Chain A
């Protein structure tokens, strides 16, 4: 393995560094010439968008932490101090707060894209599983971040969610006491949540690195779900996908800006503008919108332990999705039944979100039970059976010849994209 690199770079300084530490060669290989399927649609933007979002969160978060006080008597006012007295503190804070929502919008679309086009199937199972780890770390980070402003919903959300662990027999209550660092959500809880909220994003960076590394081993999936057959099916990442991702980044920033500058509290809860009060429970304890479907699953089960298991199970089931889906065909385009039922599953998740936002009474209990059952039915029954019963449409020969029996391949740049680079 050891040995210096023969660097191709002309600039003497870059060449000198690259010879000894070939980071420039690596970047050129992974993000410059990296052969990428040429038929991506705009849904393939969302991985890059998530990366951009993570960077925005880390940068704004570092500056917020310089002005925030992780102490129950100071936290609420210190956030308002940021909003009022720190130069452009309101911008940092609203970008960070709405950035969490944007992060989940982006990530959920990214996950749905993977499910629709079968990106989790051989040989990308581990890539997918690392992605599920990323989702779990994101959720933990978002949850702890929401506690930091120490408003009413911060406090009571933290109380409800940490109390879930008390459902486990014998070890439950000791675990909750251990999480709290005491006998209720209090200063030790806030301190450790702040510490972990600062730590986990950097863990996330590491796991994202693994996610991207695994992606660059297997190569990307594509909307046809068939393997790349040769150079005629790919284009170099730069400039083709750097420009295409840039379009996505601009549109993403526009949506983000609309939220931050015009509706910064649209997705928040008014109760969190009231300082935390352990003696007064809000009328409804509602989590942030991105947790609502899971909250609905939790409440759909009459038994507390059962609800907790069903809730965690709804994400853990994603780990085994590559083996639950028995169909060898990746893309939903060629799976006439799957491409319809996947939308039923999406409808069930959206329905669960609505149920989670409403009080668990009357019709909402019934609906959340139906949707929860369908959520699991989709993964545990439908996908395994469908792979055996469904007759997929004929797959194209290659990305360059998407139409079966199509005419000769057009002579042109597609075969030699490198000339452009």
Chain B
């Protein structure tokens, strides 16, 4: 009996261990684990880093990548005030439907506007990008195995292709991209973005900040979710104790 339970325990353990490699990216090394402000049960969000990350997105990523699920009003989630949000939105020109003559019109965005998309549609994006489609970044951290670590690894993983490696025309070599050939040229460089708060802006810092922003963009509820979760679990531990005591009292004379 004990032996069989051992077999079962071993099977369960190895089951957990062996389901993991399925999801590993083919031919690419596992992205190294980074330290994030949103790690763990009590992890919050480094708002300053997320705001710097928004700056990186605005100055660099947004030239090619859309974030259609976000609105400027959502930026309150990374600590921007209403005035700041209005100013951010007003500086962006977005399509505003059609005018009285039926002609498309554009104008400054409002807090209710969607983030501006760099291209009108997929075809326009592909035409401008050598046939490649820059993915929407709203959910990118959730949509890739390895999540934040993976996106960080991609942004910092650009390098010259090994001599023996045959590159296709117009492609770039990234250590962590499945198959290593990525259409995106290296987007971030040391010192590319200058932060108002004087934070360091080496490529690692820029990548770390923009991934913090992208994590928030994909999981805007995460901070509130974890805060509620801690309270819910504490309450349930308390309730389990009380309920068990009641059960013991009710059953005291049965056994």
Q: What is the CA–CA distance of A247 and B218 in the complex, to the nearest angstrom? A: 36
Q: Which of A90, A250, A264, A413 contacts B253 (CB 8 A)?
A: A413
Number of A-B contacts (CB under 8 A): 126
A77 within 8 A of partner (CB): yes
Tell me the dominant secondary structure on chain B's binding face: helix
A350 to B12, Cβ gap below 8 A? yes
B4 within 8 A of partner (CB): yes
Q: What is the CA–CA distance of A343 and B6 in the complex, to the nearest angstrom? A: 10
Chain A residues positioned under 8 Å from B246 (CB to CB): 243, 246
A261 to B229, Cβ gap below 8 A? yes
Q: What is the CA–CA distance of A91 and B21 in the complex, to the nearest angstrom? A: 30
A346 within 8 A of partner (CB): yes
Q: Which of B4, B139, B247 contacts A244 (CB 8 A)?
A: B247
A10 within 8 A of partner (CB): no
A353 within 8 A of partner (CB): yes
Which chain A residue lies CB-closest to B231? A261
A258 within 8 A of partner (CB): yes
B143 within 8 A of partner (CB): yes
B51-86 interface code vs A (CB 8 A; 1 in, 0 out): 000000000000000001100001000000000000
Which chain A residue lies CB-closest to B252? A413
B165 within 8 A of partner (CB): no
Q: In angstroms, how far is the closest chain B Cβ from the Cβ of A336? A: 9
Binds B, one of A50-58, A119-127, A199-207, A354-362: A354-362
Chain B residues positioned under 8 Å from A346 (CB to CB): 8
A270 to B8, Cβ gap below 8 A? no
B232 to A414, Cβ gap below 8 A? no
Chain B residues positioned under 8 Å from A262 (CB to CB): 41, 226, 229
Which chain A residue lies CB-closest to B225? A261
**CB within 8 Å for A261 and B226 given contacts A90-B221, A247-B244, A357-B19:** yes
Q: Which of A235, A246, A251, A358 contacts B22 (CB 8 A)?
A: A358
Q: In angstroms, how far is the closest chain A Cβ from the Cβ of B184? A: 17
Chain B residues positioned under 8 Å from A413 (CB to CB): 253-254
Q: In angstroms, how far is the closest chain A Cβ from the Cβ of B9? A: 10
A257 to B229, Cβ gap below 8 A? yes
**CB within 8 Å for A254 and B19 given contacts A273-B142, A340-B4, A347-B8:** no
A271 within 8 A of partner (CB): yes
Which chain A residue lies CB-closest to B241? A250
Q: What is the CA–CA distance of A264 and B255 in the complex, to the nearest angstrom? A: 41
A246-300 interface with B by 8 A CB criterion: 246-247, 250-251, 253-254, 257-258, 260-262, 264-265, 270-271, 273-274, 283-284, 286
Chain A residues positioned under 8 Å from B8 (CB to CB): 343, 346-347, 350
Which chain B residue lies CB-closest to A256? B236
B14 within 8 A of partner (CB): yes
A347 to B228, Cβ gap below 8 A? no
Which chain B residue lies CB-closest to A263? B41
Tell me the dominant secondary structure on chain A's binding face: helix
B11 within 8 A of partner (CB): yes
A192-215 interface code vs B (CB 8 A; 1 in, 0 out): 000000000000000000000000
B240 to A358, Cβ gap below 8 A? no
A87-98 interface code vs B (CB 8 A; 1 in, 0 out): 000110010000
A38 within 8 A of partner (CB): yes
B1-43 interface with A by 8 A CB criterion: 1, 4-5, 7-8, 11-12, 14-15, 18-19, 21-23, 26, 41
A250 to B240, Cβ gap below 8 A? yes
Chain A residues positioned under 8 Å from B226 (CB to CB): 261-262
Q: Which bucket holds chain B's interface residue count? A: 35 or more
Chain B residues positioned under 8 Å from A265 (CB to CB): 142
Which chain B residue lies CB-closest to A340? B4
B243 within 8 A of partner (CB): yes
**CB within 8 Å for A251 and B240 given contacts A270-B142, A344-B4, A358-B22:** yes
Chain A residues positioned under 8 Å from B254 (CB to CB): 38, 235, 240, 413-414, 417
**CB within 8 Å for A261 and B232 given contacts A354-B15, A413-B253:** yes
Q: Which of B1, B7, B14, B253 contacts A354 (CB 8 A)?
A: B14
Q: In angstroms, how far is the closest chain A Cβ from the Cβ of B230? A: 8
Q: In angstroms, how far is the closest chain A Cβ from the Cβ of B131? A: 14
Other A-B pairs beyond A77-B69, A83-B221, 18, CB < 8 Å: A38-B254, A80-B69, A90-B221, A240-B254, A246-B247, A254-B233, A257-B233, A261-B226, A270-B144, A270-B147, A273-B143, A343-B5, A344-B4, A347-B8, A353-B15, A354-B14, A414-B253, A414-B254
26 sample A-B contacts, Cβ–Cβ < 8 Å, listed by A number: A80-B138, A90-B221, A94-B225, A240-B254, A243-B243, A243-B246, A244-B251, A250-B236, A254-B236, A261-B225, A261-B232, A262-B226, A270-B144, A273-B218, A286-B22, A339-B1, A344-B4, A350-B11, A351-B15, A354-B19, A357-B18, A358-B21, A358-B22, A412-B253, A413-B253, A414-B253
Give me the 8 closest cross-chain CB pairs, A-B, nearest first: A261-B229, A413-B253, A273-B143, A250-B240, A90-B221, A243-B247, A357-B19, A343-B4
B contact residues vs A (CB 8 Å cutoff): 1, 4-5, 7-8, 11-12, 14-15, 18-19, 21-23, 26, 41, 68-69, 74, 135, 138-139, 142-145, 147, 178, 218, 220-221, 225-226, 228-230, 232-233, 236-237, 239-240, 243-244, 246-247, 250-251, 253-255
